[in-house]
Amino acid sequence: MNLLARRRFLGMAATAAVATNVPRAAAGAPAGFSPETQASARARIQRQHLPNIPLVTHERKEVRFYDDLIKDRIVVLNFFYAVCTDVCPAVTANLVEVQKLLGDQAGRDIFMYSFTLRPDADTVEAIQYYRESFGAGWTFLTGKPDDIEHLRRAIGFTNLNPEIDKDTTQHIGNVRYGNEPLMLWAACPGMANPAYIAESLAWVMRPDTNHVQAP
């Protein structure tokens, strides 16, 4: 079994294990206990970690984070600064290589999104220029500062050290990826080998992935 097939198998096995253990947990639960269903678990994850905040794309299109970008999709998420001389350019250039490796899956089966961490400074024109300077083919977004901060915290781009976390020059250069309907989420370093990142996405892929259009 090759590594790609093995990742898919392990992902399906983990999902099956959770599903088969629900009746057992319910059987030993006290009277009146109601196990969480897949639908309720998905709704809870959305409320806690996938806020439906308003955003604006590099094309000036108004979208909602959950409804328009995340719901029913496999996604790759990261944050950046339009003016940065450290980790941001390196991660963005790396993700361009990932996009190349994904081929026609990018924008069809897998959707990539980059969010500015400095919406007060990064205008639509700024994120347009940043995107074009790297030849990136995915969606870049900005929004209101409070909404962006809410999003950053909700999806886990934070540092446990509060002093470091509030220092905007030391943001985490990770990439988070996931299959929203199947509730499969993981993360990896944004500077990891592009082939490793592309291969890691197989963990959240399924053979019956729907082909949908980007917003």
In a domain, 28, yes or no: no
CA distances from 63 to 9, 154, 183 (A): 35, 18, 22
User: Which residues make beta-bridge pairs with 150?
Assistant: none
Q: Considering the domain boundaries, does residue 184 fall inside one?
A: yes
Nearest Cα neighbor of 176 from 86, 101, 93, 113 is 113
Is 113 within the bounds of a domain? yes
CATH code, domain with 133:
3.40.30.10
Looking at the 3D structure of the chain, how many domains does it have? 1
- Establish if 119 belongs to a structural domain: yes
pLDDT in tens, 30-80: 666 677 899 999 999 999 999 999 999 999 999 999 999 999 999 999 999
- Asked whether residue 195 is domain-assigned, the answer is yes
Domain extent at residue 162? 49-204
**pLDDT, average across residues 103-118:** 95
Identify whether 103 is part of a domain.
Answer: yes
| Contact between 91 and 138 (Cβ < 8 Å) | no
pLDDT (tens digit, 9 = 90+) per residue, 117-171? 999 999 999 999 999 999 999 999 999 999 999 999 999 887 777 777 676 666 6
The reply to whether 141 falls in a domain is yes
pTM to 2 decimal places: 0.79
Q: Is residue 110 part of a domain?
A: yes
